[in-house]
Structure 1
Amino acid sequence: MNIKQAKKLFTKYINDECSIEEIQLLEAFLDSYQDKNNIWTELKMGKENVFKIESWSRIESQINKAQKKKGNLFRPYLKYVAAAVLIGILATSYFIRDKFVNNDIENTTPTIVNTNIIVPGTDKATLTLEDGSQVALGKGSSFQTQNASSNGEEIIYEVAKQNAKEVVYNYLTIPRGGQFFVKLSDGTKVWLNSESQLKFPVSFIDGETRNVELVYGEAYFDVSSSSEHKGSKFKVFNQSQEIEVFGTEFNIKAYKDETNVYTTLVEGKIEVNTSIDKQLLVPNQQSNVDVINNKLSVAVVDINTEISWKNGVFIFKEKPLKNIMKVISRWYDIDVVFVNKELEDIRFKGVLGKDQNIEEILSAIKTLSIIKDYKIKDKTIILK
């Protein structure tokens, strides 16, 4: 998001026309530039003197001053939701403070070999039909069957003209470096993140439980209410849990290379069941199933951070560099190697636009003294 786009959202905000997602994006953008004593903070507090479009000129002035103060590090990121990448490093980090910040950093030029093959993810997926045949979906392509149609960025399944007598499944597989949207035949909307697979019926049997399976990966569900389908329940399965849905929105993160499955409730109500336990979630709660021992726990979380990937950004709050680079590796379809293993545990926070160039991200991390150097070779990033 650039300044012009931010201004449009600001105008919508003061006219009470912003969605929750738009407010969150605007807030992330402005908070990246401004301190606690700013117009945006006053606006959120409801002070009448700032409920004017003229307030934008004062905010823009603060942004310009912040850009000059922060220098070139932040200028490339203006077109993204936030104006900085991975900022706000925890001052209490012993490793950063003593090993990097207080030491002289060698002024080296990163080694970069054929970096053009590393690009941000895009809309793409492989659709496996009921007969086993596969169709590549992606931007610039279209596809249509009797039951579904795709414009290359999403696939929409139509409501069956006649009630299905048996359930026939399709699979939608999202590779590393991809994302995709699917609207199921009952009206349920599903956003799929990189390296994910969803199994779902082409048509649901009217009145029977609507079952889908997140085979692996991450997905955000906006489920069509059972009241619209003769009271039929909606359930989401994966290898570690079963979720019964009561007309709601929630996010499931269940990657194959992770030992925990996280389910975050945004709206409504869901029940998370494992083979030995079950838990009813309310909004802002997240369940955590330990795949190793099948233990289920629940905690209150920041919803915006958990679902930001769906809205075009990655928001990190006090996350270890190892976890952050895992997210980046999936989205950019790259491998990451830590030469210095101590780097993996450094914690910091910030916002990353999903369209950013990989070199901008790595350069920012280096400039902030989080790493001493990095190397890009084909599709492998080496952090030192």
Structure 2
Amino acid sequence: MVKPSKETLIRYLKGNAEGDEKGIVELYLSMDMDSSYLEACIREVWQELDQTNDPEDDHEEKLKFYQLFESRKPEFIQYPPNLSFKENKKRFSLTSKWISSIAAALILASSILYIKNFWQKEASNPETFDKITRIEPNSDQAELILPNGEKIALSEQSGEILLPNAHLKIEKNESGEIIYRSLIPQTAQLTTWNTINTPIAGQFQIILPDGSKAILNAASSIRYPQKFPAHERRISMKGEVYFEIEKVLDSQKRKIPFIVETEKQEIQVLGTKFNVNAYSDEPFTSTTLVEGSVQVIAKESAEMLLLKPGQEARLGNGFQLLDADLDAHLAWRSGDFYFQQEDLSSISRKLSRWYGVEISYPNSLQHIRLTGIFSKSSSLSTIIESLKNIHTLHVTYLAKERRIVLQE
């Protein structure tokens, strides 16, 4: 593409882009570009800004800015908002050198606008953002609840644990996965059920007795027998879980089905990879197929859908069959929030589950939408500040209630 003029780039970096200039520059940033040319423009704007700063600026204020700026760095490695999300995904994965160059450019460009605008926005509550910066998630947390009610913190375990009274052996492998091995003899008729819970701000992965893998998102649970019977493998779940199901044959060489139950539906599987989002506070239950095939059955109506890879079944008042955005549905597995024009209510629910906070706002802010990818290991302030950049917001953090209040 044609390189934007120096004047156009400088106007963009100052936040004064005219007409179609914003889209042109962001398209240029999304492609291979002359980094030295861009950096020269950034330096020019930076020098101009520096000359207009008051030489008597308070040192403590500068230090606060630096700390806040450092906490926001992950926010800037995002897709330019005026481009196709999937197309950007491909472009952004070209080379680590390219990503570093873009990230550095966007960090510098955003810091210019940040210096000019941040302190005016936060003047009414200067400590709010610093408090929110300290809200960080945990990860890899879960507890195993045995049939007798005994609870075992799986995240604290290492090596091998033998529980002869529970007919159970637990191992943690190098990847941090818990491998669950039943010690119940194959001929035994004993059936005992165990439950694994992840807390708010936790996530965990486990290998089930049949070798299938389950990865639990925050505030989720699965309940499963310590030893699967010969005719079927049935578990129940709440929250959000990603499954990779092993194909298992019976003595007659027939495939033994794997069945996942949620409050509103049943999913029948033979061997496949899929994601189920069945949080009780979501408007619908979502089943997304990555590989293989599954049949989803609504418990109330007995309506059925057979999914193909890349499809999503949404169950609300009835079924909807949609083409799935796998990147969006599976981003949590790799440690990211993936928002594509996501509304504030959906964002708030996800942030609440991951950071353990309540987010409240008036109905007048329901129209706010956000596009971008954010690391789940980042401070909550990263996403809150992005919302502030979209819409001028006043943010209050009530620490005792762990509640963030957004207001116009």
CA contact (8 A) 1:222 1:249 kept: yes
CA distance in 1, matches of 2:78, 2:350: 23
Is the aligned partner of 1:362 residue 2:384?
yes
The one-character-per-residue Cα deviations of 1:3-48 (angstroms, maximum 9, x if unpaired) are xxxxxxxxxxxxxxxxxxxxxxxxx997637997xxx98x969xxx
Counterpart among 312, 315, 328 of residue 286 in structure 1: 312
Amino acid at match of 1:329: S
What is the percentage of aligned positions where both structures have the same residue?
A: 28
Match in the other structure for 1:108: 124
Greater fraction helix: 2
CA 375–245 in structure 1, closer or farther in 2 if over 3 Å, else same: same
CA contact (8 A) 1:34 1:62 kept: no
Is the aligned partner of 1:119 residue 2:145?
no
CA distance in 1, matches of 2:135, 2:382: 12
CA contact (8 A) 1:177 1:333 kept: yes
CA distance in 1, matches of 2:264, 2:243: 18
CA distance in 2, matches of 1:58, 1:232: 47
RMSD over equivalenced CA pairs, Å: 3.4
The alpha-carbon deviation at position 130 of structure 1 amounts to: 1.8
CA distance in 1, matches of 2:172, 2:377: 21
Amino acid at match of 1:32: Y
The alpha-carbon deviation at position 360 of structure 1 amounts to: 2.9
Amino acid at match of 1:298: L
Counterpart among 241, 249, 268 of residue 219 in structure 1: 241
CA 174–61 in structure 1, closer or farther in 2 if over 3 Å, else same: closer
The one-character-per-residue Cα deviations of 1:189-215 (angstroms, maximum 9, x if unpaired) are 00001111100111222x31000111x
The number of residue pairs the alignment matches comes to 312
Give the TM-score normalised by the residue count of structure 2: 0.67
Is the aligned partner of 1:332 residue 2:332?
no
Match in the other structure for 1:132: 149
CA distance in 2, matches of 1:376, 1:111: 11
CA distance in 1, matches of 2:171, 2:312: 33
Amino acid at match of 1:183: I
The alpha-carbon deviation at position 117 of structure 1 amounts to: 7.2
Match in the other structure for 2:272: 248
CA distance in 1, matches of 2:384, 2:112: 14
CA distance in 2, matches of 1:221, 1:191: 7
Structure with more relative contact order (C-alpha pairs < 8 Å, separation 6 or more): 1
The one-character-per-residue Cα deviations of 1:87-145 (angstroms, maximum 9, x if unpaired) are xxxxxxxxxxxxxx9xx967533553965873313111221102222222324667543
Is the aligned partner of 1:267 residue 2:267?
no
Larger Rg: 2
Counterpart among 148, 159, 182 of residue 169 in structure 2: 148
Gap regions ≥5 residues in structure 1: 1-27, 75-100
Match in the other structure for 1:235: 259
Instruction: Report the secondary structure of 1:124's partner residue.
Output: coil
CA contact (8 A) 2:169 2:183 kept: no
CA contact (8 A) 2:144 2:154 kept: yes
The alpha-carbon deviation at position 254 of structure 1 amounts to: 0.7
Gap regions ≥5 residues in structure 2: 1-74
The alpha-carbon deviation at position 353 of structure 1 amounts to: 0.6
Is the aligned partner of 1:196 residue 2:220?
yes
Match in the other structure for 1:208: 231
Is the aligned partner of 1:381 residue 2:404?
yes
Match in the other structure for 1:9: none
CA distance in 2, matches of 1:244, 1:105: 52
Give the TM-score normalised by the residue count of structure 1: 0.71
CA 161–126 in structure 1, closer or farther in 2 if over 3 Å, else same: closer
CA contact (8 A) 1:159 1:186 kept: no
CA 226–331 in structure 1, closer or farther in 2 if over 3 Å, else same: same
Greater fraction strand: 1
CA contact (8 A) 2:133 2:381 kept: no
The alpha-carbon deviation at position 176 of structure 1 amounts to: 1.0
CA contact (8 A) 2:339 2:373 kept: yes
Instruction: Report the secondary structure of 1:158's partner residue.
Output: strand
CA contact (8 A) 1:191 1:220 kept: yes
Counterpart among 347, 354, 365 of residue 343 in structure 1: 365
The alpha-carbon deviation at position 314 of structure 1 amounts to: 0.9
Amino acid at match of 1:279: L
